[in-house]
Amino acid sequence: MTKQELQKALEPIAQGLFGKQGIRRYERPHFPLRSLETMLKDLTEIPQEEWFAYVFSREPLNGKFQDDQRRRWMEQSIACGREYGRRICQEYSLSTPSELAKAMGMKVTYPTYPEKTDRVLFAEFREPDDIRIYMDGVKKAKKFLERPEISSILGKLEVSELLLAHELFHYVEEKYKKEIYTRREKIRLWSLGPLHNDSTIIALSEIAAMAFARELVKLPYAPYVMDVFLVYGYSPEEASGLYEEMMEFAGRTPCAPEERKDVE
Amino acid sequence: MEYVVGIILLLSFFGLAYYCIKGHNLMIGFLVITILWTVLPLLGTVFASASFIEANPILQYEGSKGLIKILNSIYQSAPEGWGTTLVNVCWGAWFGRVLMDTGIASTLIRKTVELGGDKPMVTIALLNIVTALIFTAMTGAGPVIAIGVIVLPILMSLGVPKAIAMFSFMGSVAAGIYLNPVNFAQYRAFFIQPDEMPDFTLGWYAAHWGYAALLIMLIATTVLAAIYLKKSKTSHAWAAQSRSGASEQRNAPIYTLILPIVPVVLKIWLDFSVIGGFVIAGFLALFLCGRMKGTFKENCQLVNKLYYDGVVDTAPLVGFLLTLPMFNSVASYASPYFKVILGGVMPKNELVVCIVFAVLLCMGLFRGPMTLVGCGAATLGVLSNVASFSVPFLYAVFAIPTITVNIGSCITQSWVAWGLAYTKVESKDFLKLSIPNAYLTGVLQYVAAFILLGGLGAAWFI
Ligand SMILES: [Zn+2]
């Protein structure tokens, strides 16, 4: 037995004694795999208005709303986002998000931060003027866009510009918070005599931010598609689960799962 | 000669502390130290001075029969005695699973958020209260993760920076654990046998110190969160979250939302059996939430699955918990040697203990020598044997670094580690928020312990 072999044989024992305390990861539900191409094709066909159920499923106050209300809010918030998109472009006479960000004096950074859990972070806006675009996912997306079958579905797409445009809206919203629809629309959570609590609805800001981003980068489909597209780079399985959920929320049937072999 | 043994034992204690802090396997660490602490003190009796043996009856044993009796008490009776505690842990884990599966826990969180709305501070305060209440009944990484995946995204979508959301949630979980009957039984077993001192119940403990400890931690965490939030900047994130399970969406009927606290209330109020409380509240939850509508066979399978999942949640802890009682009992054989070395410097006065422990709170971090679920078990072995304190007081003294510091503020706690990965908060950013809280909360809790549990009568000593 050589020294190396001995070391290898003793390693499990040493690991058992001095190995790190293992932290048990909890197990996520499993989803059948689907090809990225089919998923993107299905999702890009969903009109923006029909995304309301998916969007509101992430809203903390969702339990208090009815579907017709959600639908109305969706339409109005989309209109709001579009309007501000046009307004800002005119105001600055610029049209790309990165130029706009510069003109608005935003501090934009592009950190590369590996992601690995069930919450994949794409971009962030911190008041007053700090925007971070997380490049790890964006780079993975770029790789997929080199494939003709993907780029024929998604068209000409700069993912980081789209993310930046979304975050810019949060800045714009803050700037016009006195008059903008997404901040003026409120619901009464409870009232007790003279006491009451009125709250804005966070989902409205997010809907408007998506519509704003779509307006700025002239995207032919709803930006929610990015959720699946960007997550796919980390976990095709999670992306498939997300796709299933989106299709069900839009009242459509998810496509049949693929055989394992041709999925990367 | 007893001095030499004492010094070797002391060195091994520091060795263990180092081993724990480095994050190595606790179960093996304690097993090795138990063997060492068995061999050294018993071998030491052969060489020690006659006066030393005479002064310590615990070290007097007759021949091989006496020796075997000692060994049996360490390696057999001690872990067996812990069995009662373990059963509580398993049933508690089952109950936690029931609350998650029925959607009671998630409904409770959602209803709470619907009261607070977009005002982050109001929502944080309300969520902290509800989280603490829930974790008086649930414990273990499984339930914390299940509630965390609901609470954390909500806080983040309200614009609360992720580190503050993490800090506030983890602090409230730990606050709830102060009244958790399962944790109480578990830590109580470090100090006395389960059947010893029957008056030291959860009810007595809660009334004399537990409520205060919970409130201090809850209020300190919330106030600090408010201060941090004031100083920080709101953030909006675009993130994709995949769904984590059907139970999250399930709506439990309003009147079932009271069930999480039923076992604890029964235990504190009537000293009703903890497991009985879990069984009653658990099955009530399953029936009232319509989870028992299937055939008899399906229902059995569901109950069984929940039990299985619950036990798996607690598995990493169980191995450690089963070696620990051996160590606890071996510590009493090592203590005469420690007394020789440390007798002069160990604090014997309650006020001094409170001050020393409050200053050394940070040593509860990283499984250091203050936390019971780490090297602190050894410190307790030494302290309780060289000086005499009442059991409730000593319980509080060690519960603070264990719960406030280790469970609530340290990144070595399994669910805190999960939270860091989930929210992508850097360890140092979390510790920057949690360590001030550990000190603020800990110091106030020591003050409360000294006032409320200091100077107890002879009935509380062993
Ligand atoms: Zn946004």
Check CB contact under 8 Å for B242 and A241.
yes
Report CA-CA distances (Å) from B426 to A218, A245, B92, B432.
36, 30, 32, 10
Phi-psi region of B140 (alpha: psi -120 to 50; beta: other; left: phi over 0): left
In the block, residue with structure tokens 């408010």: B226
Phi first, then psi: give them for residue B162, nearest 5 degrees.
Answer: -60, -35
- What does the pLDDT look like over B367-413, one tens digit per residue? 767 888 767 777 787 777 777 788 899 999 999 999 999 889 887 77
Check CB contact under 8 Å for A21 and B25.
yes
Helix, coil or strand: residue A198: strand
Check: CB of residue B389 under 8 Å from CB of residue B454. no
- What does the pLDDT look like over B324-346, one tens digit per residue? 778 877 877 887 787 777 767 77
Contacts from B189-196 at CB under 8 Å and sequence distance 24+? B189/B81, B189/B82, B189/B84, B189/B85, B189/B325, B190/B324, B190/B328, B190/B372, B190/B377, B190/B380, B190/B398, B191/B380, B191/B384, B191/B391, B191/B394, B191/B395, B192/B391, B192/B462, B193/B81, B194/B81, B194/B84, B194/B85, B196/B462
Strand partners, B237: A124
Residues of B in contact with A60 (CB under 8 A): 110, 113-114, 123, 154, 157-158
Strand partners, A197: A190
The alpha carbon of B436 and the centre of ligand 1 are apart by a number of angstroms equal to 31
Task: Tell how far CA B300 is from the center of its chain.
Answer: 31
Residues within 8 A of A (CB atoms), B 405-434 only = 412, 414, 417-418, 421-424
Statement: residue B143 has pLDDT above 90: no
Residues of B in contact with A113 (CB under 8 A): 424
A/B interface, count of CB pairs below 8 Å: 145
Percent of chain B with pLDDT over 70: 96
The alpha carbon of B279 and the centre of ligand 1 are apart by a number of angstroms equal to 44
Check: CB of residue B142 under 8 Å from CB of residue B315. no
Chosen from B25, B119, B147, B238 to mutate, greatest number of chain A CBs within 10 A: B238
E strands in B192-314: 235-241
User: What tokens does B409 get?
Assistant: 């503020």
Comparing CB atoms, the residue among A17, A59, A189 nearest residue B25 is: A17
Residues within 8 A of B (CB atoms), A 68-97 only = none
Residues contacting residue A122 through CB under 8 Å, at least 6 positions apart: A133, A134, A137, A138, A163, A226, A230, B237, B238, B239, B240
Check CB contact under 8 Å for B157 and A58.
yes
Comparing CB atoms, the residue among B28, B115, B423 nearest residue A190 is: B115
Comparing CB atoms, the residue among A117, A202, A206 nearest residue B421 is: A117
Nearest-CA distance A59 → chain B (Å): 8
Check CB contact under 8 Å for A118 and B241.
yes
Check CB contact under 8 Å for B422 and A121.
no
Check: CB of residue B409 under 8 Å from CB of residue B181. no
CA distance linking residue A243 with residue B328, whole number of Å: 53
Check: CB of residue B154 under 8 Å from CB of residue B280. no
- Complex confidence, ipTM: 0.81
Residue ranges covered by each domain of chain A: 3-59+66-249
Check CB contact under 8 Å for B239 and A120.
yes
Residues of B in contact with A118 (CB under 8 A): 149, 241-242, 244, 422
User: Looking at chain B, which residue has its C-alpha nearest residue A242?
Assistant: B242
Residues of A in contact with B123 (CB under 8 A): 60
Nearest-CA distance A227 → chain B (Å): 5
Check: CB of residue B9 under 8 Å from CB of residue B40. yes
8-state DSSP, A255? P
Please give the pLDDT value at position A263: 46
Please give the pLDDT value at position B403: 92
Mean pLDDT of B173-193: 88
The alpha carbon of A212 and the centre of ligand 1 are apart by a number of angstroms equal to 11
Nearest-CA distance A170 → chain B (Å): 7
pLDDT in tens, chain A (264 residues): 678 887 877 776 666 556 555 444 556 677 888 888 889 998 888 888 888 888 888 888 888 888 888 889 989 899 998 898 888 888 888 888 888 888 888 888 888 876 555 678 888 888 888 888 888 888 888 888 888 888 888 888 888 889 999 999 999 888 888 888 888 888 888 888 888 888 888 889 889 999 999 888 888 888 999 989 988 888 888 888 889 889 988 888 888 887 655 444
Residue ranges covered by each domain of chain B: 2-460
Strand partners, A108: A131
Nearest-CA distance B235 → chain A (Å): 4
- What does the pLDDT look like over B205-243, one tens digit per residue? 988 999 999 999 999 999 999 999 888 877 888 888 776
Report CA-CA distances (Å) from B417 to A114, B366, B376, B414.
16, 12, 21, 5
Statement: residue B173 has pLDDT above 90: yes
Residues of A in contact with B239 (CB under 8 A): 119-122
Q: Where are the alpha helices (DSSP H) in B22-82?
A: 26-47, 50-55, 63-72, 78-81
Helix, coil or strand: residue B25: coil
The alpha carbon of B351 and the centre of ligand 1 are apart by a number of angstroms equal to 53
Tell me the whole-structure pTM to 2 decimals.
0.79
User: What tokens does B406 get?
Assistant: 């280790």
Helix, coil or strand: residue A188: strand
Helices (runs of H) and strands (runs of E) counted in chain A: 12, 5
For residue B184, which of B395, B371, B447 has the smallest C-alpha distance?
B395
Comparing CB atoms, the residue among B28, B117, B161 nearest residue A197 is: B117
Please give the pLDDT value at position B132: 93
Check: CB of residue B336 under 8 Å from CB of residue B40. no
Beta strands B235-241; A186-192: pairing state? unpaired
Check: CB of residue B280 under 8 Å from CB of residue B262. yes
- What does the pLDDT look like over B411-462, one tens digit per residue? 777 788 778 877 778 778 888 899 899 999 999 999 999 999 887 777 777 7
Check CB contact under 8 Å for B422 and A22.
no
Does any CB of chain A come closer than 8 Å to the CB of residue B257? no
Mean pLDDT of B45-55: 80
The alpha carbon of B241 and the centre of ligand 1 are apart by a number of angstroms equal to 13
Residues within 8 A of A (CB atoms), B 140-169 only = 141-142, 145, 149, 153-154, 157-158, 161
User: Looking at chain A, which residue has its C-alpha nearest residue B29?
Assistant: A17
